[in-house]
Amino acid sequence: MKRTKSKHNLYLRVLQGMVIGLMIFALAVPAAWAGKKRTFGVKRVLSNALKGEIFLLPKGTQRLRSIRWVNPVGTIYTEELDIPKRDFREGFPGITDRFEWFAIRYTGSFHVMEDGKYRFQLRSDDGSRLYIDNRLVVDNDGAHPARTKSGRIRLSEGNHNIRVEYFQGPRFSVALQLWILPPGGRALIFRVDKPVGRGNCIFGNAWESGGNVLTGTLYKVPQGFTLRPGHSRGGVILGTIYTNKLDIHPGYFDKGFPFITDRYNWFMIRYTGRFSVPEAGDYTFSVRADDGAIVYVDGQMVVDDGGMHAPRTRSGRTRLYSGSHDIRVDYFQATGRVALQLSITPPKRERMPFVPGTLVLPALPTPPTPAPGPSNIVSNQTAGSGTAILKEKQGLVDFVSQGEAFRGDGFPDSHIEVEIPFPATILWVSVENTDGMASRWDTIAGNNGWALAVVMDGLRQNHPDGSVNFSTMRPHSYLELYMQDNGSISAGLTQYKVSVGLGDGTVITAPVR
């Protein structure tokens, strides 16, 4: 009996310990999750900080303009003003326990890295005002709940003075936050200890301005590093930059990357982004770099200009379908001069600077409309004509079904190979019988012809509606045509011909054999 009671008391002690532990955990964890409360400043002197003088106000103060800024009771320091709306009861330890009816006047200076118009946003509960170089930029004065007001000012490169006045009326709610929007940048909490502006970094800036951009991950690489194909990444990540073009002419680079690092040699940047092309075809990418650069499109290397070298240009060509594609450019700088210029040459057009987003292609010259009739028909019986060969089925290739439905139906497609004997732009393709049967497959939407899949170099060229518009620059090209077999094709029960419409108005025709 005694042993049982002792065992029961042991269980009670363990249970009590568990309950106490859970209570401590419940109290401690939320405090840890909440983090340290953001304050108006600290008593300890900070370099490169705002200096805040604290003033006691008479009860009933309604506006900053009525305050006489004399006889401060103490001084605090802070690098930023970032106090979201919250209860304030702690006062200013070591200075005063006042948590209502007080004012703070912050003063300091900051550095602007580029000329331009800067927007400031000031949120407060109660009133606040922002002055730059003694000029009122934001007036958020008055006794009011948390609210935000903004203003703009043109600033020149160099140092500028800043003053923020703030007062708190009745207990307990407070708020004081100051944001800055540099030219072409996004809103960030203003910090007096950091330069303001992009700094005109030629490789990109730390402000993500939105829109179509290339995102560059900046790496620190060791001396002796050389960029080669297959590098999965650089060394230590230093930060991220953004740019809407790569057009850095040969020159010297010694300013580093504002807001990230002052490093100007032995670094690597991996730019990534997306772009889209309105028509399929062969696209040439050219990169001029000092030192190395490698260009990847849809994960495949297109241009290899790696290594360590003086400015030089290298090019590579790849076939793209119409639509969106991924691009990646790895760039590496050792020492000395830098250069990084990326351009693209679309089918049958001149080279142009590459920009992310939708590629806007110049219009092709409009050829004269050919006269109707046999003068614009090229038969495979004439020199330089194409040929069409019916290929045996190999495996399940199922692009199309009956009608204009551009989807598989579970049955293998028939396969015809067509030769294009010169460089050309293909605008449409059709297959139809020549012995009286009304069978037709084509790439023309809406004309009741059955769907026809067109493949070149293993890449399907059809747009979503089944139409085509692509170019080939080779002297001899081969189109692979796939169509739903109604039984007569593979059985050889009827005769067919292939017609290919070209961009210059020519139509190639060839019987299927």
Length of the chain: 513
Q: Has residue 283 been placed in a domain?
A: yes
Copy the structure tokens of residue 86. 């919250």
Does residue 129 contact residue 151 with C-beta atoms inside 8 Å? Answer: no
Average pLDDT value for residue range 127-155: 96
Q: Is residue 141 located within the same domain as residue 177?
A: yes
Q: Has residue 14 been placed in a domain?
A: no
Does residue 281 contact residue 347 with C-beta atoms inside 8 Å? Answer: yes
The per-residue pLDDT for 447 is 73
Does residue 256 contact residue 206 with C-beta atoms inside 8 Å? Answer: no
Of the pLDDT bands very low, low, confident and very high (cuts 50, 70, 90), residue 33 is very low
Beta bridge partner(s), residue 286: 315, 343
Asked if the bond preceding 133 is cis, omega within 30° of 0, the reply is no
The per-residue pLDDT for 211 is 63
How high is the mean pLDDT of the chain?
81
Residue keyed to tokens 């103490």: 74
Does pLDDT of 482 surpass 90? no
Does pLDDT of 376 surpass 70? no
Copy the structure tokens of residue 280. 């399929």
Q: What is the CATH number of the domain that holds 384?
A: 2.60.40
The domain in which residue 406 lies consists of 374-511
Three-state DSSP state, 33: helix
The per-residue pLDDT for 357 is 87
The per-residue pLDDT for 408 is 67
Q: Is residue 320 located within the same domain as residue 256?
A: yes
Of the pLDDT bands very low, low, confident and very high (cuts 50, 70, 90), residue 186 is low
List, for residues 427-440, the tens digit of each pLDDT value. 889 888 877 666 78
Of the pLDDT bands very low, low, confident and very high (cuts 50, 70, 90), residue 375 is very low
Q: Is residue 181 located within the same domain as residue 223?
A: no
Beta bridge partner(s), residue 173: 87
Q: Is residue 150 located within the same domain as residue 224?
A: no
Average pLDDT value for residue range 350-372: 71
Q: What are phi and psi of 153, to 5 degrees?
A: -150, 140
Give me the number of domains the chain comprises: 3
Query: Number of C-alpha atoms within 13 angstroms, CB side, residue 230?
Result: 0
Of the pLDDT bands very low, low, confident and very high (cuts 50, 70, 90), residue 402 is low
Copy the structure tokens of residue 327. 């691009």
* Cα separation, 479 vs 386, whole angstroms: 10
Q: Is residue 317 located within the same domain as residue 417?
A: no
Q: What is the CATH number of the domain that holds 337?
A: 2.60.120.1560
Q: DSSP string of 241-262?
A: EEES--EEEEEE--S-BTTTB-
Q: Is residue 258 located within the same domain as residue 158?
A: no
> Given 189, 224, 257, which residue is the final one in a domain?
189
Average pLDDT value for residue range 278-304: 92
Task: Give the whole-number percent of the chain exceeding pLDDT 90.
Answer: 40
Q: Has residue 6 been placed in a domain?
A: no
Does residue 320 contact residue 277 with C-beta atoms inside 8 Å? Answer: yes
Q: Has residue 274 been placed in a domain?
A: yes
Average pLDDT value for residue range 192-220: 76
Report which listed range, 132-141, 175-184, 231-240, is most confident. 132-141
Of the pLDDT bands very low, low, confident and very high (cuts 50, 70, 90), residue 23 is low
Average pLDDT value for residue range 402-420: 73
Does residue 216 contact residue 248 with C-beta atoms inside 8 Å? Answer: no
Q: What is the CATH number of the domain that holds 108?
A: 2.60.120.260
The per-residue pLDDT for 272 is 95
Higher-pLDDT residue of 162, 28: 162
Radius of gyration of the chain (CA): 36
The per-residue pLDDT for 495 is 79
Report which listed range, 9-18, 142-151, 380-389, 471-480, is most confident. 142-151
Strands 357-358 and 267-277: parallel
Q: Is residue 350 located within the same domain as residue 384?
A: no
Q: Is residue 93 located within the same domain as residue 126?
A: yes
Copy the structure tokens of residue 56. 């006691």
Which sign, positive or negative, has the C-alpha torsion 374, 376, 377, 379?
Answer: positive
Average pLDDT value for residue range 69-78: 96
List, for residues 80-138, the tens digit of each pLDDT value. 999 999 999 999 999 999 999 999 999 999 988 778 899 999 999 999 999 999 999 99
Q: DSSP string of 403-468?
A: TT--S--SSPEEEEEEEE-S-EEEEEEEEEESSS---EEES-TTSSPEEEEEEETTEE---TTS--
* H or E element that contains 143: none
Does pLDDT of 140 surpass 50? yes
Q: Has residue 21 been placed in a domain?
A: no
